[in-house]
Chain A
Amino acid sequence: MSLYAAAFGFGLVSLAVIAVGAVGFTMQFGITNLINLAYGDIMITSAFAAYFLNHAGVSIWIALLVGAATGAIFSFLLNRFIYAPFQRKGTPLIGMVIVSLAIGIMTSNLLLAFVGSDNVSYHQNPGSTVHLAGIILTTEQLLLIGVAVVLMLAIHALLRYTRLGKAMRATAANATLARNCGIPTGRVIDAVWLITGALCGMAGTIAAMNSDSFAVANGSGFLITILAAAVLGGAGQPYGAMLGAVIIGELTELSAAVISPEYKAVVAFSVLVVVMVLRPQGLLAKFGAMAAAG
C-alpha cells in the first residue's frame, strides 16, 4: 500500500511539472492555432541554460528564472522570425506542423553540438524528506509543487481578470473578429509567446530539477507527455491542460509502480492515442480535433 502512496506522491510532483508545460503548450495552440512541436526542445534548451548558470555557482532557484527567460525569448523570436512569416505566407496547417518539427530537430541538434549527449545534473539541495500519510517527498519537491501552483493561479488570474487575458481569450475565439473590435492581436500574440515561452522554459527546468539527471534526448519525451495532457484536457483549453496533467501525472507514476518504470512513457503516449481516438475534443474542449466529414 505504501508503494502506491509513494507513487501517488511522485505523481503530484509529476503532474506539477506537466501542468506548467501543458498550459503553456495548449495556450499557444488555442490562441495562435499552432501545434508547436519544438516545445519539448525549447524546454530542454532552457534547462541547459539554467544548468550552465547553476554550475557557475548560481542557486538553482535563480537559474530557474533564467530558464524561464530563455524559454520566453526563444519562443518569442521563433514566432517573430519563423512561425508568423510562414503563417502570413498562407502555409497550410500541415505545413506549419512540418515547420515546427523541423525547428525542433534543428534546435535539439544545435544544442547537442554545444553541450554533447551526456547526462548532466544540477547542483541542488533536495532538503529534508517529508513523510505525510505514506507520501514521501523532499522539501525541494514540495517547493516545485508550490511553484507550479503559483504559476497556475497566476495564469488563471491573467485570463480571468486582466485586460490582456480577455484580449487573449477573444483572439483565441476568433482572431479576425477580435482585430475588427480593435484588439491589437499582433501584440497580444507577442505577449502569448513570451508568457507561454516562459512557462515552457520553467517547465523544462523544473522537469530537469525533478530528475536525477537529464540530457538533450529527454526533449521529445517531455513533448509527448505534455501533448498527452493538453489533448486529454482539450486542445486550447488551459484548465483542461491542468486536468490532463493531473491525470497523466498520476497515471504514469502509478503505472510505473504497477508495471515497470521503462513503460512510463508508453503509458503517457498510449493515453494520448486513446484520447485522440475516443474523444478527440478532449475532456473540456469546445473546439478540437473534430471528425472530418464524409
Chain B
Amino acid sequence: MTFYITTLLVYAAVDIIACIALNMQFGVSGLVNFGFILFQAAGAYTAAVLSLPPQSANGGFQQYVLGLQLPFPLPWIAGAIAGGVVAIPIGLVVLRKLRGDYQAIALLVISIIANIVITNARPFLNGAAGVSLVPPPLADQIGVEAVNTYEYQYFYVVISLLCVGLVLFAANRIANSPYGRSLRAMRENEVAAAALGKNLLAQKLTMFIVGGVMGGLSGAILVGFIGLWAPAGWLYPETIVLFAAIIVGGRGNNWGAILGAILVPVGFFEATRFLPNFGQPGLIPAFQWVAIGSLILGFLWFRPKGVFPERRRTFPNPSAG
C-alpha cells in the first residue's frame, strides 16, 4: 500500500512542477505553449542518456547517444538545462513573428514533428521503443536491492518534493515581482505593453526558457522514477491535460496550478484507475479523454478563471507620519 502512496506522491510532484511551469508560460505570460510536453521530454531523455551506461551495456539492445553514467544529481540538473536549451531555438523561431493562435499551432506542430523524428531516427534515442533500464538516482552507489526498499521510495519522495519547493519558490518570486507584473501586462494587452516600453520578445523568450527549465526538471524526475521514456509517452494530448489542469485550478495562480495538478492529471487519472474494466481494452482511457475534454469545456464556460483565480494584488498603505 505504501508503494502506491509514494508512487502517487512522486507523480504528483512531477505534475505539479509541470503545471507550475506551464502556468508561468500560459497563466502569467499568456504564451499558449501547446508544445509544452516537448520540454518535459527533453529533460527526461537528457537525464536518461546521462544516467545510462554506454549503449553496449545490457546486451546492447538499445541505441542511444551519450550514455555517460553520471551520478545523481548531475542528470537532473542537465535535464533542467536541456529543457531550457531546447526552448531557445523554438522560441526564437515561433515567438517573433506570429500572432497568438498561430503561435499555439506552430508549437503544437513542432512537438508532433519532434515526436515523429525521434520515433524514426533510431540511433538517436532508440526510436519507438524508447530508452529503458534507466538507473534511478544513486543506484550505482547503493546497489540494486537498495533501490527496491521503502526507504528508497521515501528518499525519492523527499527529493521530488524538494524540487517542487524549489520550483514553487522561484515561480512565486517571479509572479509576485515587478517582472511578474510586466508579464501580466503583456498577457493582458501586448500592444499597449510595448507602447509602454516592454520588450515583448525578451520577456516571451525568457519565460519560454524558464518554463522549459522547470519542464525539463519534471521530466528528469519522472524518468528517474519509472526508468523508461518512449515517444508514445509524450504525445501532444499530454500537453492538453496540463492545460486542463491550469484552466480548472486557476490561470495565473501558482496555487491554482498545484490544485489543478492534483485534481486533473493525478486525481482524475488515478481515480479512474479504480473503475472496473468494462468494454474493450482502451475504453477507459478513451472515456478519460472525453471527461478531460468536458472538464475543459465546462470550466471555460462556467468558471473560466478556475477554482483559484489570480489574486488581486493590493499594496500596503504608507504608515502615518
**A143 on the B face (CB < 8 A):** no
A112 touches B200 (CB 8 A): no
**B179 on the A face (CB < 8 A):** no
Which residues of B lie under 8 Å from residue A280 when comparing CB positions? 97-99, 102
Cα distance A116–B286 in the bound complex, in angstroms: 10
Cα distance A292–B190 in the bound complex, in angstroms: 8
A227 touches B105 (CB 8 A): yes
Which residues of A lie under 8 Å from residue B109 when comparing CB positions? 224, 227, 269, 272-273
Q: Which one of B41-49, B266-274, B295-303 contacts A?
A: B295-303
B32 touches A106 (CB 8 A): no
Question: How many interface residues does chain B have, given as a range?
Answer: 35 or more
B110 touches A294 (CB 8 A): no
B102 touches A95 (CB 8 A): no
Which residues of A lie under 8 Å from residue B93 when comparing CB positions? 273, 277
Measured CB to CB, the nearest residue on chain A to B194 is A294
Which residues of B lie under 8 Å from residue A272 when comparing CB positions? 106, 109
Which residues of B lie under 8 Å from residue A224 when comparing CB positions? 109, 112
**B116 on the A face (CB < 8 A):** yes
B198 touches A294 (CB 8 A): yes
B200 touches A270 (CB 8 A): no
Measured CB to CB, the nearest residue on chain B to A235 is B102
Q: Which one of B10-18, B164-172, B277-285 contacts A?
A: B277-285
Measured CB to CB, the nearest residue on chain A to B201 is A294
Known: A94-B100, A97-B32. A262 touches B247 (CB 8 A): no
Name A269's contact: one of B94, B112, B120, B193 (CB within 8 Å): B112
Name B243's contact: one of A35, A98, A113, A269 (CB within 8 Å): A98
Which residues of A lie under 8 Å from residue B105 when comparing CB positions? 35, 37, 97, 227, 276
Name B282's contact: one of A103, A112, A269, A277 (CB within 8 Å): A112
Measured CB to CB, the nearest residue on chain A to B93 is A277
* Chain B positions 279-321 with a Cβ under 8 Å from a chain A Cβ: 279-280, 282-283, 285-287, 289-290, 292-294, 296-297, 300-301, 304
**A220 on the B face (CB < 8 A):** yes
Measured CB to CB, the nearest residue on chain A to B247 is A98
**A293 on the B face (CB < 8 A):** yes
Known: A112-B282, A112-B286. A99 touches B304 (CB 8 A): no
**A61 on the B face (CB < 8 A):** no
A277 touches B98 (CB 8 A): yes
Which residues of B lie under 8 Å from residue A277 when comparing CB positions? 93-94, 96-98, 106
Q: Which one of A2-10, A85-93, A181-189 contacts B?
A: A85-93
Chain B proximity of A193: nearest CB distance (Å): 18
B282 touches A102 (CB 8 A): no
**A82 on the B face (CB < 8 A):** yes
**B113 on the A face (CB < 8 A):** yes
Number of A-B contacts (CB under 8 A): 139
Which residues of A lie under 8 Å from residue B73 when comparing CB positions? none
**A290 on the B face (CB < 8 A):** yes
**A266 on the B face (CB < 8 A):** yes
Name A86's contact: one of B195, B247, B293, B301 (CB within 8 Å): B301
Which residues of B lie under 8 Å from residue A262 when comparing CB positions? 116, 120
Name B106's contact: one of A103, A276, A291 (CB within 8 Å): A276
Which residues of B lie under 8 Å from residue A102 when comparing CB positions? 240, 244, 292-294, 296-297
Interface of B: prevailing SS: helix
Measured CB to CB, the nearest residue on chain B to A106 is B293
**B104 on the A face (CB < 8 A):** yes
Known: A220-B112, A294-B191. A91 touches B300 (CB 8 A): yes
Which residues of B lie under 8 Å from residue A73 when comparing CB positions? none
Which residues of A lie under 8 Å from residue B116 when comparing CB positions? 262-263, 265-266, 269
Q: Annotate B243-271 by CB proximity to A: 1 below 8 A, 0 otherwise.
A: 11001000000000000000000000000
Chain A proximity of B193: nearest CB distance (Å): 7
B301 touches A89 (CB 8 A): yes
Chain A proximity of B310: nearest CB distance (Å): 16
A289 touches B98 (CB 8 A): yes
Which residues of A lie under 8 Å from residue B293 when comparing CB positions? 102-103, 105-106, 109
Which residues of A lie under 8 Å from residue B279 when comparing CB positions? 113
Chain B proximity of A38: nearest CB distance (Å): 10
B99 touches A105 (CB 8 A): no
Q: Annotate A61-101 by CB proximity to B: 1 below 8 A, 0 otherwise.
A: 00000000000000000000010001001010111011101
**A176 on the B face (CB < 8 A):** no
Which residues of B lie under 8 Å from residue A117 when comparing CB positions? 282
Which residues of B lie under 8 Å from residue A292 when comparing CB positions? 98-100, 190-191, 200
A82 touches B289 (CB 8 A): no
B300 touches A266 (CB 8 A): no
Cα distance A95–B306 in the bound complex, in angstroms: 13
A106 touches B294 (CB 8 A): yes
Chain B proximity of A155: nearest CB distance (Å): 24
Measured CB to CB, the nearest residue on chain A to B294 is A106
Measured CB to CB, the nearest residue on chain B to A277 is B93
Q: Which 4 A-B residue pairings sit nearest by Cβ, starting from the closest?
A: A294-B194, A106-B293, A289-B102, A109-B289
A-B contact pairs, 14 of them (CB 8 A): A82-B297, A102-B292, A102-B293, A102-B297, A105-B289, A106-B290, A109-B290, A110-B290, A112-B286, A260-B120, A266-B113, A269-B116, A276-B102, A294-B198
Chain B residues in the interface with A (C-beta under 8 A): 32, 34, 93-94, 96-102, 104-106, 109-110, 112-113, 116-117, 120, 190-191, 193-195, 198-200, 236-237, 240, 243-244, 247, 279-280, 282-283, 285-287, 289-290, 292-294, 296-297, 300-301, 304
